A and B are shown apart, each in its own frame.
Chain A
Amino acid sequence: MTALLEVRDFSVAFGASQPVKGVSFTANPGEMLAIVGESGSGKSLTALGLIGLLPRHAKTGGEIRFEGRNLLAQSERDWRRIRGRDIGMIFQEPMTSLNPVLTVGEQIIEVLRIHERLDRKQARQRAVDLLELVNIPEARKRVDDYPHQLSGGMRQRVMIAIGVACNPKLLIADEATTALDVTIQAQILQLLDNLRRDLNMAVILITHDLGIVAQWADRVMVMYAGRKVEEGLPEPVFTDPYHPYTRGLLGASPRAESGHHYRDGPLIEIPGSIVSATGEKGCAFRPRCPSAQASCGFAVPALRQIAEDRLAACPFTPTRFVSQIHDASLRS
């Protein structure tokens, strides 16, 4: 299968600091890829890079191939044709992500009329259809509502309607459910899952909460301090986290049942903070890693293939993996 999106060694720098340090990943048509990592890992910068909305002073490196074409090499004009049409995006804050002075209908119609030849009436009908598609009750009435008349969950549905309005091939959801209540969160994820199947749309689900990923993602990629540190299918990553950071994240992941919410306070399972990664010569996780060795400070550990569909950037293998690697090396 040819990948829809192929990111190679993508990096973002602001002057001397480099918050994204060369990440590579692919997304296939219709696939849901989760990018997980705590705040400050560079997830949002990666996402903004995919849609060409990084701050003007950001320096990018590497390649973003979308349907074979390198997006980083194209003009701003070309970007505008891709945004909203081929790649849609949903942001974290449903309360502030919609323009307060325009009705939700006007905001959906806007994206439709930028990219498609539609007259006013057709566009309005499409807007109503889209509101129905994202399960907003009484869509015909709601289309004339202003954002402040809707709840957070409803607004996020409107954002999704805008994101999928032109049948994009890729939808990026950056912490799209983070600000919502746990039950609404599940509904929105279910909706995204249905939509990507119905519209055959790849979804990049970005979150700092590993807990919500397991059920929905086809593949999980874990980021720490601007690098990919682990990647694999959700099941194996969850049951057998390889990288110590992933293990820490799993411990820190709030469970729906416990009712823990990101606003409830900091998660304490991983000691220290991501700030300690700045200027680290070796493994960026070393200052916080319970399994750190002296040799971890020498060089950045390379991503290694641990098993089929499994990558990790830590040379120190938990014992239970040894047999697998042994098997893998025997097979190859």
Chain B
Amino acid sequence: MIVSRRLFQRLRRTAIQAVPTVVGIVILNFFLLQFAPGDAADVMAAEAGSATVETMADLRSRFGLDLPVIHQLLNYLSNLAHFSLGYSPRYGMPVAELIGQRLPGTLILMGAALLFALTIGVILGSLMAQFSGRLPDRVLSVGSLLFYSVPGFWIGLMLILLFSVKLGWLPSGGDSTIGSSLTGFAALADRARYIVLPALSLSLYYLAIYARLTRAAMLEVKSQDYVRTARAKGVSPLRLVLRHILRNALIPITTLAGMHIGGMLGGAVVVETVFSWPGLGRLAFEAVMARDFSVLLGILLLSSFVVIIVNATVDLLQAWLDPRIGESR
């Protein structure tokens, strides 16, 4: 009863804050993109190899690129108000449809990477805390420091080199075997093989962070008085770790994990490009190169939604994990 009321209050507050945030993000991004040199017409003309002044002007007026900036912004906002993300001149289809095609790929990739980073990170961090100062802790600490400091694309390239080129175990790019007519479980297994390397290279950095964070949080919790109380009750070591130490250590870990999701979207751009994974990140990259701003704005808008939703989820998760949150205020 009390828990659900607490959660509802949190959710309502988040929703109220979200609207101005999103509008602000749209306007800010719109002006930022105006600073980039060139527009879609320039790129299309350059790609076509020849273009007259007239065709360029024609292109611009067709996509509304010749209007004053403020006018363009108002157009865009009015589109948004009608739940339209606009039209992509380059891909020749509505932006919403374009994004809809690419979104699942990115969500799957990020979900897999996050799940892997969190589970393995928390397990390794718990081990490090349990053996703190001893050999397993030292080895894992060095390992996590390594993955923390090496950029994702480099890890990706090294993984391709090892697992695709040298060992030939896993495919180096794409999201499924082209032209294969697999169905059911076989198709799923095929896709799973393709996601391993990109998800791994996206997750290792976060895995390192979560492992180090879990270690620190657990060591901190371990020295708390209530852990001693639990031991004085005769609680077994496993139960002590799971119910008393980890449960409390998870509170700071969820906060940080939530904050990382936005960063992970950024990381996905690089990883999707390295592994030619058909997702939003690569679409964003292509949109930048093509100066296809309506696509880019759409992606940025969606990303801000994702971040807001994730933050709200984390908030809820926290309120659920920590009964002290969300009572007052």
Contacts and interface: CB of A to CB of B under 8 A. Distances in A.
A binds B: yes
Contacts of A82: 234
A35 interface: no
Contacts of A162: 229, 233
Nearest to B224: A96
Interface in A92-134: 93, 96-103, 110-111, 114-115
Interface size on A, as a range, is 20 to 34
Nearest to B232: A89
Interface string B243-259: 11001100100000000
A80 B229 contact: no
Contacts of A97: 225-226, 228-229
Interface in B207-237: 224-226, 228-236
B323 interface: yes
Nearest to B321: A101
A101 B247 contact: yes
A79 B207 CA distance: 37
A85 B229 contact: no
A148 interface: yes
Contacts of B247: 101
Contacts of A159: 229
A159 B228 CA distance: 12
Contact of A110 (B233, B248, B251, B323): B233
B133 to A, nearest CB: 11
Contacts of A115: 234
A88 interface: yes
A91 B233 CA distance: 12
A100 B324 contact: yes
B232 A83 contact: yes
Contact of A80 (B236, B248, B322, B324): B236
Nearest to A83: B234
Nearest to B229: A97
B322 A101 contact: yes
A81 B226 contact: no
Contacts of A51: 232
A96 B231 CA distance: 14
Nearest to B247: A101
A97 B244 CA distance: 12
A102 B322 CA distance: 9
A216 interface: no
A230 B324 CA distance: 46
Contacts of B248: 99-101
Contacts of B236: 80, 114
B230 A99 contact: yes
A115 B248 CA distance: 24
A137 to B, nearest CB: 19
B233 A53 contact: no
A17 B128 CA distance: 29
B321 A114 contact: no
A238 interface: no
A84 interface: yes
Nearest to B324: A148
A146 interface: yes
B234 A81 contact: yes
* Most B-side CB within 10 Å, residue of A81, A82, A84: A84
B234 A100 contact: no
A103 B248 CA distance: 13
Nearest to A87: B232
B233 A100 contact: no
A167 to B, nearest CB: 14
Contacts of B231: 53, 83
A320 to B, nearest CB: 43
B247 to A, nearest CB: 6
A6 B187 CA distance: 71
Given A80-B236, A84-B235, A97-B229, 17 more contacts: A53-B232, A80-B235, A82-B234, A85-B234, A89-B232, A91-B232, A96-B224, A99-B229, A99-B248, A100-B324, A101-B247, A101-B251, A101-B323, A102-B243, A114-B234, A148-B324, A162-B233
Interface of B: 224-226, 228-236, 243-244, 247-248, 251, 321-324
Closest 6 CB pairs of A and B: A84-B234, A84-B233, A83-B234, A96-B225, A111-B233, A146-B323
10 contacts: A80-B236, A84-B235, A91-B229, A97-B229, A99-B244, A100-B323, A101-B321, A111-B233, A111-B234, A115-B234
